[in-house]
Structure 1
Amino acid sequence: MPDLDAETDRALSEQPPSTWQTVVWNDPVNLMSYVTHVFRSYFGFDAPTAHRLMLAVHHDGHAVVARGPREVMEAHTQAMHDFGLWATVRKDPA
């Protein structure tokens, strides 16, 4: 008789880990220059990347600024809150 626990463990270990996103949302308070500064200082983005993401927040209403394990995305989201930005965690649809 097959070991069902071993089969389940193997099936779970073969699946890729869940990926989550940190999403920063547009708000009526923060200046675009400040959002760019936060993206550069916290995430370490270069100036063009930080500027592009800030423009996505401004024009599209939001931008995905990070992807990874849920716990890490929750930490990024809390950091964005600490900077005064609106941010959420969501499951990566990809």
Structure 2
Amino acid sequence: MDDGPWQTVVWNDPVNLQSYVVHVFRTYFGFSRSRAHQLMIQVHEQGRAVVSRGSRERVESDVQAMHSFGLRATLERTEED
């Protein structure tokens, strides 16, 4: 993940299959199968996971991409800032 003051958060939803969420993370972000699975489990069990960090423009683009895949996602400022 790129460092930056913004992050993309994917939220749990009752609609998308876990296997689909893994597929999206692998396809869009290029995560390994194990990393994508780990993030999906975090979304499922904790309700959310940070999937990218970077500039506001980069994160807005990632959020829009997640929406286009049908996932709930938001951008937020990182706490390290």
Task: List alignment gaps of at least 5 residues for structure 2.
Answer: none
Q: In structure 1, what is the equivalent of residue 61 of structure 2?
A: 75
Is 1:40 paired with 2:26?
yes
After superposition, the CA RMSD in angstroms is 1.2
Q: What is the deviation of 1:18?
A: 5.3
Deviation digits for residues 12-62 of structure 1 (CA, Å, limit 9, x no counterpart)? xxxxx9510000000000000000000000000000100000000000000
Task: List alignment gaps of at least 5 residues for structure 1.
Answer: 1-16
Q: In structure 2, what is the equivalent of residue 10 of structure 1?
A: none
Deviation digits for residues 51-79 of structure 1 (CA, Å, limit 9, x no counterpart)? 00000000000000000000000000000
Write 1 or 2 for the structure with the bigger share of helix.
1
Q: Distance in 2 between matches of 1:70 and 1:56?
A: 23
Give the conservation status (yes or no) of the 8 Å contact 2:6–2:76. Answer: yes
Q: In structure 1, what is the equivalent of residue 43 of structure 2?
A: 57
| Count of aligned pairs | 78
Q: TM-score, normalised by structure 2?
A: 0.93
Q: Which has the greater radius of gyration?
A: 1
**Percent identity at matched positions?**
60
**Partner of 2:52: helix, strand, or coil?**
strand
Higher relative contact order (CA 8 A, sep 6+): 2
Q: In structure 2, what is the equivalent of residue 30 of structure 1?
A: 16
Task: Give the 3 Å change call, closer, same or farther, for CA 89–48 of structure 1 in structure 2.
Answer: same
Q: TM-score, normalised by structure 1?
A: 0.81
